[in-house]
A and B are shown apart, each in its own frame.
Chain A
Amino acid sequence: MPDNPARAATGGPAPARLGPATSPQTVAIELTINGRPRRLAVAPWTTLLDLLREELDLTGTKKGCDHGQCGSCTVLLDGQRINACLVLAVMKDGSAVTTVEGLSGPDGALHPMQEAFIEHDAFQCGYCTPGQICSAVALVEEGRARAPDEIRELMSGNICRCGAYPNIVAAIQQVLASNGGAGR
């Protein structure tokens, strides 16, 4: 096989490694991620989602659309649920981010929402699941949802193509009930 016909035929520059990955001007920020403070150098255009997935290997947070249309990338930013694909990491200097990897205890004990998702079979393929769980955890904190209709409405930013919705609602209801139905 010739060395690199792609380069030869297009007459482009040699594919030598170009120093740091994309050699942009990076910006130094500090984020607390799952309780751990981290100093990071990020390109100004890097989304929080790409930072988590591509650079920190926190792949529990999923990319389903990259356009704020599916909820797969939901994380907690200073306790609020947000779509990590719609946030540039540089804008959130000093914030605290909790991803699905940060929900369980240090001893590996699952968060009640994670337990409830397993118990109610609230997922199939599991791809939307981290986003659903982060969204659900925040929903309970928000204290706005009580009736199933409210849960359905307030969880409608998280698409589950496997159609696990009835079970997701049941899991959230269980956690709400054990919380006395209000935010903690």
Chain B
Amino acid sequence: MPPIPNAETHVGSPRSRVDGRAKVTGGARYSAEFTAPDLAHGYVVNSTVAKGRITGIDTAAALAAPGVLAVFTHENRPRTAWFSYKYQDEVAPPGTPFRPLYDDKVVYSGQPVALVVAESFDAARHGASLVRVSYQAEAHETDLTSRMGEAYEPPKKRSGISPPPKPRGDAPGAYADSPVKVSGGYWAAYEHHNPMEPHATTVVWEGGGKLLVHDKNQGVLNAQSYVSSVFGLGKDDVRVVTPFVGGGFGSGLRPQYQLFLAVMAALELRRSVRVVLTRDQMFTHVYRPNTFQTVKLGANPDGTLRSIQHHSVTGTSQFEDYQEVVVNWTGTLYHCDNVELTQKLAKLDTYTPGDMRAPGAPTGLFAAESAMDELAYATGVDPIELRLKNYTEHDENEGKQFSSKELRACYEVGAERFGWSERNPEPRSMREGRELIGWGMASGAWEAQMMKTSARAVLTADGKLEVACATADIGTGTYTILTQIGADAFGLRMEDVTTRLGDTTLPYSPVEGGSWTAASAGTAVQLACEAVREKLFKHAQKASGSPLAGAKLDAVSFAGGRIEVTADPDRFVTIADAMRAGGVDRLEAEETANPSKIDQLRYTGYTHSAIFVEVRVDEELGVVRVTRVVDAVAAGKILNPKTARSQVVGGIVWGIGMALEEETLPDHNLGRFMNHNLAEYHVPVAADVQGIEVIFVDEHDTKVSPIGVKGLGEIGIVGTAAAIANAIYHATGKRIRDMPITIDKVLG
């Protein structure tokens, strides 16, 4: 059903975050900050070998330490689900999920092997330092390069992840015949999400076997079903409430081990327990895998693509086949008749990697869009011209139309704003003092999805509205956009609307991820509000001598606490009078938004971007600074330009980190990450981020979601690393195919 028109006062306009006050005053509580009487504290002990068996755990000293209540290990772990599938969650890839403290096997370095629970955080930490674990280590392999030969195509596909399409035409043959060829191998390092809030769970023991769980995650319902499945608890006995999430970026999609440990301890000790991971323990669970790719492009001298071959090998754990979309992007972005795309995995003795902001896309586009830049140089065609020459109005991977695609406008508007026409393509042609200046660009794409989601709207006679959905606001602005949608549905002020999220007692939502939340929860809220409006309108017409008698719903507007005839606003009924006429003091509706099956069969939805970057490279020191970024984004309807811009800026900052700084370095002898802290794992700081300009290109799309929204969480990062690499080439004449592009590589 198409949305009933009502004036858009808030939707589409810049609005400050409704949770702003809570966040700037310290009032917003995150999962480690809920408290309970008699709260006990858990501290995790992690394995120091990558593979082998635990031969003994000496807990005597820990148990004798003041304040220590219990030490949990695989030897005394309370009974949990026997079958590994019981540990599966909503986003688990194929395989058998990791089960904390399950047995004596060590399957990765940093695996939790014990939990010390004590009366205070200090005491638990002290106790943990006293636990002695002995191992029989076995030979491990954590180096992707040495497993390349055993790479395999995952036999079982991960649900929700499109596998590479079947080959089209004859890519190797067409490549051999192409007059212009470029090819290269690309490397992307391990990265860790490092949200500022470390993973934490506070389990409040409510008595009678009931648990109130505050857990850092991106989906309270996913956490709840995991807990109930693993511990055999009824869903009514486990309520998960997470109103604020201090950054997720994918790290909170799957339940992390602190949730298991905190719940286990609370059930055993029959009291409230909190487990908070340290920053270095944040390097002992999910991460972005490292990936090796090869790209071969064959083209005519005018730049027309004749052949695309893009292959990847990604590391995964021994126990799960994690999959993300790495290679499909080239086939989606460009027209080409001969395309071969494959993705393989290689098993390593590590934890299972997972979704990290735009999983697969910035990695794949780094290779694909670097190769396109190389092709631009090989053919002498301008990079934008080259992309326009190979532009496609079809998703040739899927054989479907795009629901909308304003990428052409992104190239145009972005180039104009950046001043691209001034660019001399010659590498090393711009310099200021010691610094070489380079300009590069790249395209970006990310799937625009919508997921089944429900929401509730409750309007009360005093003209206040509450909207509610179980989804999360991980900093994305969900509270704010849902408030805007609710306010506009009834012509209210935003202050009159309360949005509730992150609670398993609220209507259904999948995990918050994939950039689908605004489209999905936004539509659900819109539908619930429409249902309440219909009820309210019926009551308003019931009032004796109602000025709305005989009016049709689509001929009235909701504004200023009343329902008025749009063409004759003097004919109105107030919300309070309408409720009185209906003999109610509140109206409530819950609705479910479903993506249109027909549109999904016919169309694919993508957000697009064209990103332009200026870098300055110190020739003697090899230091790269990103001094200017212009990102033109086509993402359908923009609900709130203020928070939307912030989301894209954040994504670009991530792209800067990926291109230049972020790398978790494994020591393959030990099979563990070495730089597990924020001093040695570098993320961008204020000094690394200069002028960033985001432009939203107009894009009208009614197929991608009923409210025309495509989502913005990922589009900022996708093309950024490639554009930076291309700018570095322009500055220095060096094509660096190994991320992050650190000083040693620039000087090397």
Q: Is B195 engaged at the interface, CB distance under 8 Å to the other chain?
A: yes
CA A160 to CA B650, docked complex, whole Å? 9
Identify which of B369-377, B455-463, B651-659 touches chain A. B651-659
Judging by beta carbons under 8 Å apart, are A69 and B28 in contact? no
Q: Is B35 engaged at the interface, CB distance under 8 Å to the other chain?
A: yes
CB proximity to B under 8 Å, residues A99-122? 99-101, 103-104, 110, 114, 117-119, 121
Judging by beta carbons under 8 Å apart, are B683 and A161 in contact? yes
Chain B residues with CB under 8 A of A32: none
Chain A residues with CB under 8 A of B20: 117-118, 123
Instruction: Kindly identify which residue among A15, A45, A70, A99 contacts B70, using a CB–CB cutoff of 8 Å.
Output: A15
Judging by beta carbons under 8 Å apart, are B122 and A43 in contact? yes
Judging by beta carbons under 8 Å apart, are B247 and A65 in contact? no
Chain B residues with CB under 8 A of A80: none
Given A10-B75, A12-B70, A126-B246, verify A54-B120 contact (CB < 8 Å). Answer: yes
Q: Is B643 engaged at the interface, CB distance under 8 Å to the other chain?
A: yes
Q: Is B382 engaged at the interface, CB distance under 8 Å to the other chain?
A: no
Q: Is A178 engaged at the interface, CB distance under 8 Å to the other chain?
A: no
Chain A residues with CB under 8 A of B652: 163
CA A165 to CA B248, docked complex, whole Å? 18
Given A59-B29, A67-B678, verify A126-B475 contact (CB < 8 Å). Answer: yes
Residue of A nearest to B682 (CB): A159
Chain B residues with CB under 8 A of A118: 16-17, 20-21, 24
CA A11 to CA B684, docked complex, whole Å? 48
Q: Is B278 engaged at the interface, CB distance under 8 Å to the other chain?
A: yes
Given A10-B75, A58-B26, 11 new contacts (CB under 8 A)? A8-B76, A10-B63, A15-B69, A22-B126, A60-B26, A62-B30, A65-B279, A65-B677, A101-B26, A155-B685, A164-B650
Judging by beta carbons under 8 Å apart, are A127 and B197 in contact? yes
Q: Is B3 engaged at the interface, CB distance under 8 Å to the other chain?
A: no
Identify which of B165-173, B580-588, B686-694 touches chain A. B686-694
CA A110 to CA B27, docked complex, whole Å? 13
Judging by beta carbons under 8 Å apart, are B686 and A60 in contact? no
Judging by beta carbons under 8 Å apart, are A121 and B30 in contact? no
Judging by beta carbons under 8 Å apart, are B646 and A153 in contact? no
Judging by beta carbons under 8 Å apart, are A11 and B21 in contact? no
Given A60-B25, A61-B26, A130-B26, verify A121-B642 contact (CB < 8 Å). Answer: yes
| Least CB distance, B664 to chain A, in whole angstroms | 15
Judging by beta carbons under 8 Å apart, are B76 and A169 in contact? no
Given A22-B122, A60-B25, A156-B685, verify A5-B76 contact (CB < 8 Å). Answer: yes
Instruction: Kindly identify which residue among A12, A54, A158 contacts B59, using a CB–CB cutoff of 8 Å.
Output: A12
| Least CB distance, A37 to chain B, in whole angstroms | 20
The size of the chain B interface, using a CB distance under 8 A, is: 85
Judging by beta carbons under 8 Å apart, are A1 and B78 in contact? yes
Chain A residues with CB under 8 A of B76: 5-6, 8-10
Judging by beta carbons under 8 Å apart, are B685 and A127 in contact? no
Chain A residues with CB under 8 A of B22: 126
Instruction: Kindly identify which residue among B70, B477, B689 contacts A6, using a CB–CB cutoff of 8 Å.
Output: B70
A-B contact pairs, 18 of them (CB 8 A): A6-B71, A8-B76, A22-B123, A60-B27, A69-B679, A99-B26, A100-B25, A103-B25, A118-B17, A118-B20, A124-B477, A125-B475, A127-B197, A152-B690, A158-B686, A159-B196, A163-B649, A168-B686
Chain B residues with CB under 8 A of A104: 25
Q: Is A48 engaged at the interface, CB distance under 8 Å to the other chain?
A: no
Chain B residues with CB under 8 A of A166: 649, 689, 691-692
Q: Is A167 engaged at the interface, CB distance under 8 Å to the other chain?
A: yes
Chain B residues with CB under 8 A of A15: 68-70, 269
Judging by beta carbons under 8 Å apart, are B35 and A57 in contact? yes
Given A10-B76, A60-B26, A104-B25, verify A127-B196 contact (CB < 8 Å). Answer: yes
Residue of B nearest to A101 (CB): B26
Judging by beta carbons under 8 Å apart, are A12 and B686 in contact? no
CA A92 to CA B344, docked complex, whole Å? 57
CA A20 to CA B122, docked complex, whole Å? 13
Residue of B nearest to A148 (CB): B690
Given A8-B76, A53-B33, verify A22-B118 contact (CB < 8 Å). Answer: yes
Give the top 8 A-B pairs by smallest Cβ distance, nearest first.
A60-B26, A12-B63, A163-B653, A127-B246, A125-B475, A126-B23, A9-B76, A124-B475
Residues of chain A having any CB pair with chain B under 8 Å:
1-2, 4-13, 15, 17-18, 21-24, 43, 45-46, 50, 53-54, 57-67, 69-70, 72, 99-101, 103-104, 110, 114, 117-119, 121, 123-130, 133, 151-153, 155-169
Type the 1/0 row for B625-649, where 1 means its CB is closer than 8 Å to any CB of A.
Answer: 0000000000000000011011101
CA A70 to CA B69, docked complex, whole Å? 32
Residue of B nearest to A65 (CB): B279
Given A69-B677, A153-B687, verify A127-B247 contact (CB < 8 Å). Answer: yes
| Least CB distance, B93 to chain A, in whole angstroms | 25
CA A125 to CA B244, docked complex, whole Å? 8
Instruction: Kindly identify which residue among B35, B71, B121, B650 contacts A162, using a CB–CB cutoff of 8 Å.
Output: B650
Q: Is B268 engaged at the interface, CB distance under 8 Å to the other chain?
A: yes
CA A179 to CA B29, docked complex, whole Å? 32
Instruction: Kindly identify which residue among A22, A110, A129, A161 contacts B194, using a CB–CB cutoff of 8 Å.
Output: A161
Chain A residues with CB under 8 A of B477: 124
Chain B residues with CB under 8 A of A160: 196, 686
Instruction: Kindly identify which residue among B21, B196, B278, B690 contacts A62, using a CB–CB cutoff of 8 Å.
Output: B196
Instruction: Kindly identify which residue among B119, B195, B476 contacts A127, using a CB–CB cutoff of 8 Å.
Output: B195
CA A127 to CA B651, docked complex, whole Å? 17
| Least CB distance, A77 to chain B, in whole angstroms | 17
Judging by beta carbons under 8 Å apart, are B24 and A163 in contact? no
Residue of A nearest to B194 (CB): A161
Residue of B nearest to A54 (CB): B121
CA A69 to CA B653, docked complex, whole Å? 19
Chain A residues with CB under 8 A of B646: 121, 124, 162, 164, 167
Q: Is B474 engaged at the interface, CB distance under 8 Å to the other chain?
A: yes
Judging by beta carbons under 8 Å apart, are A59 and B67 in contact? no
Residue of A nearest to B654 (CB): A163
Chain B residues with CB under 8 A of A4: 70, 268-269
